[in-house]
């Protein structure tokens, strides 16, 4: 996780942002990648969140 450079989360409703943000902060700890949160539909109705992580290992 320490190599994480970018994080993008897609949630299906804006209300999930308040739940996701603290959970991401807890899981990432001191790691502070560039981050984007997008509200959009996902492929299946049971999907609530999609998380994309890009890492750089130099």
CATH label of the domain that carries residue 51: 3.30.1330.40
Average pLDDT, the chain: 95
| pTM confidence score | 0.85
The model's confidence at residue 58, banded by pLDDT at 50, 70 and 90, is confident
Position 7 pLDDT exceeds 90: yes
Number of domains in the chain: 1
Containing structural domain, residue 26: 4-55
- For 41, residues 6+ apart whose C-beta sits below 8 A from its C-beta are 12
């Amino acid at each position: 996780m320490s190599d994480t450079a970018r994080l993008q989360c897609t949630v299906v409703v804006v209300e999930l942002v308040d739940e996701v943000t603290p959970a991401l902060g807890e899981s990432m700890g001191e790691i502070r990648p560039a981050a984007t949160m997008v509200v959009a539909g996902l492929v299946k109705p049971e999907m609530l969140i999609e998380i994309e992580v890009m890492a750089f290992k130099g």
